[in-house]
Amino acid sequence: MITSTDANLWVTEDLSHQLLGREVVQPSSGRRGTVGTVLIYASKISNRVVKKVAHMRPLDDSGREWTADPGTLQPLQPIASKLPAGKG
């Protein structure tokens, strides 16, 4: 069911999000998973981002996928620096 709020939002995929395809933990629940996609919801009127949602695939073989705020997710392995070697 589409609500009137949903009808006023643009939804796009964040193809360059740094956590895409990475194994992460959601600290609030303790669940671990792989980030499958990150969606950005923006107002059609103001073009401001309303929310971002990460779609997660579980690492525990439970098969129960879930969504999370990508800003709260922590990578299980550190993300490599974007600086060239020896420049950090």
Percent of the chain with pLDDT over 90: 73
Residue 5 confidence (pLDDT): 63
User: Is residue 50 predicted with pLDDT exceeding 80?
Assistant: yes
Burial of residue 24 (CB within 10 Å: 0-12, 13-18, 19+) is: buried
Q: Is 70 exceeded by the pLDDT of residue 27?
A: yes
Its pTM stands at 0.79
Mean pLDDT of the chain: 88
Phi, psi of 58 (to 5 degrees): -70, 150
Look at residue 2 and tell me whether its pLDDT is greater than 60: no
